[in-house]
Structure 1
């Protein structure tokens, strides 16, 4: 589903150059549930942007769902995002005053579906995340956990093959966060490839695989149940 080969991403030039990612090589198979974990500044968000086709690598090769991201034009990237990738962020990014079903339906605006079909899909997605009774509730009428579930419904309403979740529990209390993680597990069990970006080592350790980032480099690839952990070249 995702393949990164010697990927680097730099910003600026000369003495002002910042290497956000350096020589990252990794792959995520279809149907995997993976955490990308590391402290602030480790390169997690940059990696998310590259996998999600929101940015292009400075060097190396990024392949998502069989397509070379670095070779796609803007139209191709938009099509890949619209039909194959779903995004969930720490901040829910829901439209204030707009009903849950319409917030979710907005996730299909660029697919060419009719308004009626978008609403039908939105209702299905909200039922899928356990919010079938909250279709007409507005964001201020929902708890934090419910708002995140609306955001997840919006991300999966197009039935994407790949779901990218950026700190999906960061704005939630412990109980709500646990429910969101369980929902991500359920979506993964139904066949969706899920990549969770997090600084929460406890959350990362609870998932089947961890890609550990530090200083823009991938330093460990840890799979649950393996002894010892699968090594990646360490960097000081």
Structure 2
């Protein structure tokens, strides 16, 4: 279990002895303990097949562990109905994926506004919040542009805005620079650092040790297990309140 200090509120996410097994003796997670607290910026890092993608799905409540416990904002997800779990996920977790998953033919504002589709927010208010989220990622001037009119880095920033529009407690970023050139990837990582400095809890899932080493905390995976969980020189007192 992580030894990071308590802030007095429930962890954003906590896994206790979480396992994930598949037929044929495949063990993607093996008794994983992990605590992510408010304000952290961490990397879950490992090679292909190490279990980090399964970890993303379990942390994000997209998948359930075979055994063990997963709590999000203090709620044991195994006790929630599908509708309550969906509501918890919509309220507390934002997702950013490697290949953006933007809707073709819809401009940036509407792509971001789609992040509020299941929150019961009226269209006018969804678009207002979407413009505010685009301003957070410095793309308010590109709101009327469709994905085919945006660069790869701009598409990823739109995807980040969509993940942020519901003000989630946790942003899960799965290989956020994997489809980008070096310069665009650098911009995206700088943005994630800025968002964390403003209070967003962020977990980056990556195979890139260079990206991981630049973050305040690295949780390293191998064969479904955490083999190390450490802070780096990049960590400052401001990262974890």
TM-score band (shorter)? over 0.9
Three-state SS of the structure 2 residue aligned to 1:170 is coil
Shift of 1:2: 1.3
Task: Name 1:50's counterpart in structure 2.
Answer: 58
Equivalent residue number for residue 238 of structure 2: none
- Looking at structure 2, the residues matched to 88 and 81 of structure 1 have their Cα atoms a distance apart, in angstroms, of 14
Does residue 21 of structure 2 align to residue 4 of structure 1? no
Q: Give per-residue Cα distances to partners, 1:89-126, cap 9 Å, x unaligned.
A: 00100011110000000110000010000000000000
Give the structure 2 partner of residue 92 of structure 1: 100
Partners of 2:193 and 2:79 lie apart in 1 by 32
1:193-208 counterparts in 2 under 5 A? 193-208=201-216
SS of the aligned residue for 2:233 comes to coil
Q: What's 1:128 paired with?
A: 136
Summarize the alignment of residues 1-236 of structure 1 with structure 2, pairs less than 5 Å apart.
1-12=12-23, 16-225=24-233
Give the secondary-structure state (helix, strand or coil) at the position aligned to 1:90: coil
Q: Distance in 2 between matches of 1:146 and 1:192?
A: 20
Is residue 86–residue 160 contact of structure 1 (8 Å, CA) maintained in 2?
yes
Shift of 1:225: 3.5
Please say if residues 57 and 70 of structure 1, whose CA atoms lie closer than 8 Å, have aligned partners that are also in contact. Answer: no
Structure 1, unaligned stretches of length 5 or more?
227-236
Aligned length: 223
Quick one: distance in 2 between partners of 1:225 and 1:198?
19
The whole-number CA distance in structure 1 between the counterparts of 2:74 and 2:198 is: 21
Mapped to 1, the partners of 2:163 and 2:38 lie a distance apart of 18
> Normalising by the residue count of structure 1, what TM-score does the alignment of the two structures yield?
0.93
Q: Map Cα deviations across residues 165-194 of structure 1 (whole Å, 9 max, x no partner).
A: 000000000010010001111111111110
CA–CA separation in structure 2 for the residues paired with 1:101 and 1:10? 40
What are the Cα deviations for residues 6-28 of structure 1, in whole angstroms up to 9, with x where unaligned? 1100112xxx1311100111111
Q: What is the TM-score when the length of structure 2 is the normalising length?
A: 0.91
Distance (whole Å) between structure 2 residues aligned to residue 17 and residue 116 of structure 1: 50
Q: How far apart, in 2, do the equivalents of 1:186 and 1:173 lie?
A: 20
